[in-house]
């Protein structure tokens, strides 16, 4: 249930952001951990009609200056958000759909199938691990077995070095990716589109993978909002959880 209140709930650490003045803001939102709670496995995250309706209204209020920047594919973002957001970057910046619907996707690195086979053998030998295959990356999740974190990070870094892949560490996950742009790069590209140009960028995200977008927003005169527990971050403000994010967004449209 999305509650609409005058201001977001306060949290410890960084101050909660003020309600947005939507007439001069370009808004960038992560998905998992920001718009939707983290689940035990990525496939368990599904559509929510109330969230979809809120995002649809928000896109109108912003005049189209709304984009989702996710580690998921563009198609997965559409599945979860009902395709309501026109501008989406997937694969941590390696996929992008423009306001006109044009898709720009990096071709997957040819070494990914070989790396996937190695990681599948590694996962099969340990309990509670999950290998998520994406179009241009491989995500090794250890949420189901946290003690395996060190081993997961070790094999991921070794394979990334051996096959010249990019690597990012997230919340209970490490991902090997086709070399390419990051979320900060995607934010910068969207800011050149007519609907976004001249506005103040605000990035909302929860994970280390969102830090490049926090930095890009700040460099363009905007700011970042961290979702979740306090940590070292380039964000200026913080909200407690996805429900607080939805409350804040709904309140900004009052």
How many CB atoms are closer than 10 A to CB 147? 10
Question: How is residue 252 written in tokens?
Answer: 């900004």
In the β-sheet with 137-141, what is the strand arrangement from edge to edge?
Answer: 130-133, 137-141, 173-177, 166-170
SS3 category, 183: helix
Which residues are catalytic, by number? 30
Nearest to 89 by CA among 154, 181, 178, 13: 181
Cβ atoms 82, 41 nearer than 8 A: no
183: nearest Cα among 200, 160, 165, 208:
208
- How many residues make up the chain in this entry? 254
């Amino acid at each position: 249930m999305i509650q609409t209140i005058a201001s977001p709930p306060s949290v410890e650490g960084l101050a909660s952001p003020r309600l947005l003045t939507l007439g001069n803001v370009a808004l960038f939102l992560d998905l998992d951990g920001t718009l939707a709670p983290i689940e035990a496995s990525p496939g368990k995250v599904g559509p929510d009609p109330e969230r979809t309706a809120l995002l649809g209204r928000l896109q109108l209020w912003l005049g189209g200056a709304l984009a989702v920047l996710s580690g998921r594919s563009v198609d997965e973002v559409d599945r979860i958000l009902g395709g309501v957001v026109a501008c989406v970057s997937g694969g941590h910046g390696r996929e992008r759909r423009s306001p006109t619907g044009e898709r720009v996707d990096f071709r997957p690195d040819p070494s990914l199938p070989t790396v996937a086979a190695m990681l599948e053998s590694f996962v099969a030998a340990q309990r509670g691990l999950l290998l998520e295959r994406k179009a241009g990356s491989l995500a090794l999740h250890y949420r189901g077995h946290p003690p395996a974190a060190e081993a997961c990070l070790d094999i991921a870094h070794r394979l990334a070095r051996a096959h010249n892949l990019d690597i990012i560490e997230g919340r209970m996950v490490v991902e090997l990716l086709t070399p390419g742009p990051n979320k900060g790069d995607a934010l910068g590209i969207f800011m050149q589109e007519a609907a976004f140009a001249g506005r103040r960028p605000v990035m909302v995200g929860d994970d280390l993978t969102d830090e490049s977008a926090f930095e890009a927003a700040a460099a363009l005169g905007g700011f970042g909002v961290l979702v979740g527990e306090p940590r070292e971050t380039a964000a200026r403000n913080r909200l407690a959880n996805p429900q607080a994010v939805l409350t804040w967004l709904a309140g900004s449209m009052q």
